[in-house]
Amino acid sequence: MAVVSRIAWTHHKSLKDSNYANEHTVDMNHDPKYSSFQFDNSWKRKLSTKQNKGHWVPTLSGMIKAGDEAVYSSSLFHQLVALPGEITLQMLNNAFAEELKKKPAAARAELSQDIAKFISATTHTRSRRRSRESFGQEPKQEPAGRHRSRSSIDILERGLSRSTSRSKKSNDILVGTCNPVPSSQGKAINSWAHDLRPGSLDGKSNIIVTPPELAALAITLGIQPEFMHDLSGQTERKNPVVHGNGAFGISMHAVPTVDERYQITLTQFKRKISQLPARGSGFSTLYAKHLASGSLPFLQDERAVNSILVTGETLHALKEGSSVHFEPSLSDSKAANFLQSLPSSRQSRFFALAPSTNSNSSTSLLLHAITAMPFSGGLVPIASAPLVDTVQFVTSAGLPAARLLQRLDALVDKVNRHSPHLQLFGPLFDDENAGLRVRVDERLNKLATDPTASEPIIDKAARMHRYTTLLERLMALVPDTTPAEVLIAVREALQRDIEHSYQDARAAHNNPDIATTMAEFMSLPRRCHLSNPASTTTSIPTLSPVSSPSCSPTTPKSGTWSPRRSSTTFPPHNLGKQVESILKASLPLSVETIAVVARLVLVAWTLSVERVAWEDSDEGVRLPAVEELPEVMAMR
């Protein structure tokens, strides 16, 4: 025992005496600022007391890091069923274990033995609980369509013809889009699997949560933490109450307790039918953290994620077509410091815009990073205002959105009617909810025409989840291709389409005649006020359709949708009109047309994302700094 105490004391002393030069670390659980006593993970397991009789489970930081490696998407949070009620750590562990079980056996074999025990123990716990809950009760019946999802897909979709090659299987219902950031290493990092804690300590499951962990969890849940204010309007820094509602119907509260700690509570409230999830992939925790901080990832290696810091200067250079390039940057901005303080599986390596005298200067790196967003889980609920404006300028081709959201909803309905038994887009598109869809369409019309209209983040996130599922379904319907092949083909087509879109946007911005037309258009009612800063700089109508050849879908074989009478609110050429031509086409769509849909979904994302303001000149919500959050917090 004396030897153990001596080792622990020496380890602790070395941490205190060391020169802690870099304030930002990959894992804030290992930061002396947030931990009074530090152990290496292997020592933690060897020196744990006999009271720790439970198994080891991933820490909150470990779960966040696993999301960075695309182990799961944000769809995990739809599995946290507590209607209504508190979401506990055990529920988080159960949902995470279920995601790990879905991984191939070869991928699970690379994980640590402790993770294997965690999956097994969690599975047994869930089985026993289900047995107790179902004892003496009738078993729940799965919806007929969902139960038959694997057996009732039509023969063309499943590719069951004997002449079809097995290597070209097309029986995938959806093609997943929450993939890892392109890597020069070619292999995921499993360091998160060693970030563990005891499942219980002396029979209690409470854990200490650090401020960086709370900030990362809040961003992933689409929550903007706020401080409660006293009657004088000043925040009580000694005992602030942190609260916020998120994108998954989950609220967060951090309330001070008698022992000067804060108790964190996650509560799920009842969602409307239109807010319930689709079946497609969610977004990535990596993109959630980066985009909220104005950082756009484009490549990763064994140690770091390479990303572009997108600022107002970036957007200005894009509009003017300046000679620029991107070079490594040691940024010390608020947003960059915030991002580096969060738990991450890899460090952040920033690139920033810089003037260039080289004739070979190009913005292709930024366009490449924007292209990757729909295929890497990048359609997150919160992003910095300059980044949103930049994506909108590049992808809108100089055209106003007009009724884009309504027309994309109509495209979702078209694809849903193609195979309604799969129930891909949530209960909103069930036949019995047709009246509710009419009310949703009316709300989208108001968002498009009323600058004072607003919308909760949960409605925005649910809509973007349906649009992500739309992309995944359209790709799955492409015949004679594997998921990997169609992903590559659509991504390459989207890259070309975005390059054409950017050229058109620049031409519209530099054309004085179109600028006059734009001034007239801006005097008309427009969409939701949350997008006003972007619309004043990027929603520029052109006098001719987009020049990209990929924007002309194949000639329709049959018309299944009749567009409404043209509105005089918007100019004749707009993004909503582009979707109308796609609505007339027959399924499956061509790869080029799916790429156009992907670009329009990116535009829809810029209209549906909550903006974060880091600079005084930006408009949007303001995230509290990590230092402003309570220092000692617990979660049960």
pLDDT tens, residue by residue, 199-239? 765 556 678 899 999 999 999 999 987 765 433 344 444 55
Where residue 213 falls (left for φ over 0; alpha for ψ -120 to 50; beta otherwise) is: alpha
CB 508 within 8 A of CB 514: yes
User: Best-predicted range by mean pLDDT among 38-42, 281-285, 624-628?
Assistant: 281-285
Residues 429-439 have a mean pLDDT of 96
Q: What is the DSSP string of 489-523?
A: HHHHHHHHHHHHHHHHHHHHHH-HHHHHHHHHHHT
pLDDT of residue 19: 38
Q: How far apart are CA 269 and CA 317, in angstroms?
A: 44
Tokens of 574: 């707009």
Six-digit token pair at 3?
Answer: 């030897």
Return the pLDDT at 474: 98
- The highest-confidence range among 118-132, 158-172, 429-443, by mean pLDDT, is 429-443
Burial group, residue 163, by CB count within 10 angstroms (0-12, 13-18, 19+): exposed
Q: Which one has a higher pLDDT value, 512 or 149? A: 512
Mean pLDDT of 117-125: 74
Band (359; pLDDT cuts 50, 70, 90): low
Comparing 22-36, 85-99, 391-405, 477-491, the range with the smallest average pLDDT is: 22-36
Closest of 545, 497, 624, 507 to residue 212, by C-alpha: 624
Work out whether strand 56-58 and strand 196-198 pair parallel, antiparallel, or are unpaired. antiparallel
List pLDDT tens digits, range 174-199: 999 999 998 876 666 788 988 888 87
Is residue 54 scored above 70 in pLDDT? Answer: no
Q: Examine the pLDDT at 559 and tell me if it is beyond 60.
A: no
If you average pLDDT over residues 310-339, what whole number do you get?
90
Residue 295 corresponds to which tokens in the numbers above? 């950082």
Using only C-alpha atoms, the chain has a radius of gyration, in whole angstroms, of 25
Structure confidence at residue 571 as a pLDDT band (50, 70, 90): confident
Q: What is the DSSP string of 561-601?
A: --PPPPPTTS-SS-HHHHHHHHHTSPSSPPHHHHHHHHHHH
The secondary element (H helix, E strand) that includes residue 290 is helix 285-292
Token pair recorded at residue 529: 């006020």
Q: What is the mean pLDDT of residues 304-322?
A: 93
**pLDDT (0 to 100) of residue 291:** 98
CA–CA dist 76, 67 (Å, integer): 10
Terminal alpha carbon distance of the chain? 31
**Residues 559, 583 contacting (CB under 8 angstroms):** no
The answer, yes or no, to whether residue 7 has pLDDT greater than 50, is no
Q: What percent of the chain has pLDDT over 70?
A: 70
Average pLDDT of the segment spanning 313-323? 89
Of residues 617 and 10, the one with the higher pLDDT is 617
Q: In the prediction, which pLDDT does 576 show?
A: 94
Q: What are the b/e assignments for 326-361, b being 16+ CB within 10 Å?
A: beebebebebbbbbbbbbbbbebbbbbbeeeeeeee
Is 60 exceeded by the pLDDT of residue 630? yes
How much is the pLDDT for 65? Answer: 95
User: What digits encode the pLDDT tens for the residues 233-274?
Assistant: 444 445 556 788 899 999 998 888 877 788 999 999 999 999
CB atoms within 10 A of CB 615: 14
Q: What is the pLDDT of residue 468?
A: 98
Strands 382-384 and 610-612: parallel
| pLDDT tops 80 at residue 71 | yes
Identify the band that residue 63 occupies on the pLDDT scale cut at 50, 70 and 90.
very high
Q: Report the pLDDT value the prediction gives residue 204, as an integer from 0 to 100.
A: 62
Please tell me what DSSP assigns to residue 633: E
Is 246 in contact with 223 (CB distance < 8 Å)? yes
Q: Which residue has the higher pLDDT, 62 or 540?
A: 62
Q: What DSSP letter does each residue of 36-95 carry, written as one string? A: SS---HHHHHHH--TT--S-EEE-HHHHHHHHHTTSS-GGGGGG---TTEEEPHHHHHHH
- Tell me, what's the pLDDT at 308? 97
For residue 203, give the DSSP letter. T
Percent of the chain with pLDDT over 90: 50
Positive or negative torsion for Cα 72, 250, 469, 399: negative
pLDDT band per the 50, 70, 90 thresholds, residue 358: low
How many beta carbons lie within 10 A of that of residue 561, not counting itself?
A: 15
Query: Which tokens go with 46?
Result: 């060897």
Token pair belonging to 597: 């849909």
Which residues are 196's β-sheet partners?
58
13-17, 368-372, 408-412: lowest mean pLDDT where? 13-17
Pull the structure tokens for residue 514: 């179109």
pLDDT at 528: 35
Cβ-contact 394, 370 below 8 angstroms: yes
Q: Are strands 262-268 and 250-256 parallel, antiparallel or unpaired?
A: antiparallel
Over the chain, what is the mean pLDDT? 78
Separation in Å, CA 299 to CA 291, 310, 312, 348, 366: 15, 16, 22, 11, 11
Which is more confidently placed, 181 or 30?
181
Q: Give the pLDDT confidence of 523-537 residue by residue, as tens digits.
A: 333 333 333 333 333
Given a cut of 60, whether residue 418 has pLDDT beyond it is: yes
323 or 580: which leads in pLDDT: 580
Q: Which residues, in sequence order, are bridge partners of residue 197?
A: 57
Q: pLDDT confidence of 79, banded at 50, 70, 90? A: confident
Question: What is the rounded distance in angstroms from the CA atom of residue 195 to the CA atom of residue 217?
Answer: 16
Q: What's the pLDDT score for residue 55?
A: 75
Task: Provide the pLDDT for residue 625.
Answer: 87
